[in-house]
Amino acid sequence: MSRSPVLLLLLCAVGAAAATVPRYREAPHFTNSAAAQCPPPLPPSDADAACSPRAAVHVAMTLDASYLRGTMAAVLSVLRHASCPESIFFHFVASAAASRATAEELRATVRASFPSLAFRVYPFADEARVAGLISTSIRGALDRPLNYARSYLASTLPPCVRRVVYLDSDVVLTDDIAALAATPLPGEEAAVAAPEYCGANFTAYFTPGFWASPALSSVFAGRRACYFNTGVMVLDLARWRRAGYTAQIEEWMELQKRVRIYELGSLPPFLLVFAGRIASVDHRWNQHGLGGDNYRGLCRGLHAGAVSLLHWSGKGKPWDRLDAGRPCPLDAVWAKYDLLRPAAGIESS
């Protein structure tokens, strides 16, 4: 009996999540700085703390077995460099197709490594719907439904959460996330803030057929459309909900099922809706591309300028290269936050 593409996608997601979760070591404990005028610490065992006014920063990430090692390192880096680590609330979106036991194992793994962390795990309720909207792209990892969860944060997180920092699982921060979370979103409409890269070849993100169609390409008319990476974003969820941006993204995904207008996973629909309409963030907050391209994952260096966040976007992930004994030079930075290996000198505060 043949299986539908939607079922196969969900089975792959469940299979990945069903893998045995390794045992991570406990992270150092970081406390709020007395000099930073932090709110009182959030209670780690209270999921309702997401709506507490004491939550100074909200962070959203996905949570699954395949990328758990990266997520754990990212969380550690956020806490290590935050001025108010005990006042950060983490929102983790996990596969709804995973078994209850697997979901609980992921939750327990996070809690064991971060006993005082304030967080909540949400099942990705729109997963089956998204699986039916996904078109195959140039790399299989980009076609996982959970990779599209960033487009559904407005409906997944509680309405009380108005602003959130979304982070991919392959990042580490070297600066205080509060500075990123405080990025201004001017006016009444801007719902996304991210570093823009106007020197990139924007036309390459869409097919020749897209650009040849005035009915399609005119979507960018009157917009200074530039590439931006969706792995690091500040989102105003109240504005997102009001404008119905998720429905707009889905409309482009539905069109893509009928007419091939792009090749690269969840990024192009975001660009179609938001390129030229976002608030700009300093490039220091997304030194991306450290995982190389989407084909070979070769080593890459940093862009010129300051660094507040390193991002291993691309095929090559630092944990895979370290395990294979073929790390790139910058993978040593990520290794300092790896909770699967012996402690690398990161102390509590």
Given a contact cutoff of 8 angstroms between Cβ atoms, the answer to whether 79 and 85 are in contact is yes
- The radius of gyration computed from the CA coordinates of the chain, to the nearest angstrom, equals 19
Considering only residues 31 and 14, tell me which one the structure prediction assigns the higher pLDDT. Answer: 31
Question: Can you give the pLDDT at residue 258?
Answer: 94
pTM across the whole model: 0.91
Q: Is the pLDDT of residue 2 over 70?
A: no
Q: Quote the CATH superfamily of domain 49-336.
A: Spore Coat Polysaccharide Biosynthesis Protein SpsA; Chain A (3.90.550.10)
State the number of CA atoms in the 13 A half-sphere of 257 facing the CB: 12
- Nearest Cα residue to 194 out of 275, 130, 117: 275
Query: What CA–CA distance (Å, rounded) separates 332 from 126?
Result: 37
pLDDT-wise least confident of 7-16, 33-42, 226-235, 317-326: 7-16
Spans of all domains in the chain? 49-336
Tens digit of each residue's pLDDT (9 = 90 or more) over 182-197? 999 998 889 999 999 9
The angle, 0 to 180 degrees and rounded to 10, between the axes of the packed helices 100-113 and 68-81 is 30
- Nearest Cα residue to 272 out of 214, 205, 208, 209: 205
Tens digit of each residue's pLDDT (9 = 90 or more) over 116-157? 999 999 999 999 999 999 987 766 667 889 999 999 999 999
Phi then psi dihedrals of residue 10, to 5 deg: -70, -35
Residue 14: which pLDDT band, with cuts at 50, 70 and 90?
Answer: very low
Q: Is the pLDDT of residue 178 over 90?
A: yes
